[in-house]
Amino acid sequence: MTNLRPTPFAIGAALAAFSLAAAAQLTPQQRYERQIAYCNSGKLPDPERNACVRDAGLQLDRSLGGAPRNQATTSDDGRATIIGPTGLPAPNSGSDEVTSPDGRATIVLPADQQQLPQQRP
């Protein structure tokens, strides 16, 4: 009787087929998270890590029907144009800034304060 032993090539091919079958069972989000985990594992230098993260995002976008469309949004005061995904809320236009009563300073109000306190006579 002949004793048949699997060759390293046969073992590698079997493992590759198994991993492809397992990868086919993952959702696009799970594949993305797995790729990001690999990118952030510390095995890649910084430029390759950044490219790895971008590629993972592109693969996720493609699997979900394409990349989100970007649009230009102008701030309320017209001083800034922000390019971002469609549906992005309008940026803060600096409405939390007021000019002092004497006109010599610009005051940035805290988020919880609605108006500038009145000066005392």
Q: What is the pLDDT of residue 41?
A: 93
Q: What is the pLDDT of residue 18?
A: 65
What are the residues whose beta carbons fall under 8 Å from the beta carbon of 44, sequence distance 6 or more? 52
pLDDT digits (tens, 9 = 90+) for 82-99: 777 776 666 555 556 777
Residue with tokens 């108006």: 115
* Distance set, CA 110 to CA 52, 97, 120, 121 (Å): 40, 9, 20, 24
Residue 76 has a CB neighbour count (10 Å cut-off) of: 12
Alpha helix positions (H), the chain: 8-24, 28-39, 46-63
What are the residues whose beta carbons fall under 8 Å from the beta carbon of 52, sequence distance 6 or more? 35, 38, 39, 44
Rounded to an integer, what distance in angstroms lies between the CA atom of residue 34 and that of residue 60?
Answer: 11
The residue ranges of the chain whose pLDDT is under 50 are none
Rounded to an integer, what distance in angstroms lies between the CA atom of residue 69 and that of residue 85?
Answer: 6
Q: Where are the domains of the chain?
A: 9-63, 70-108
pTM above 0.75, yes or no: no
Q: What is the pLDDT of residue 34?
A: 94
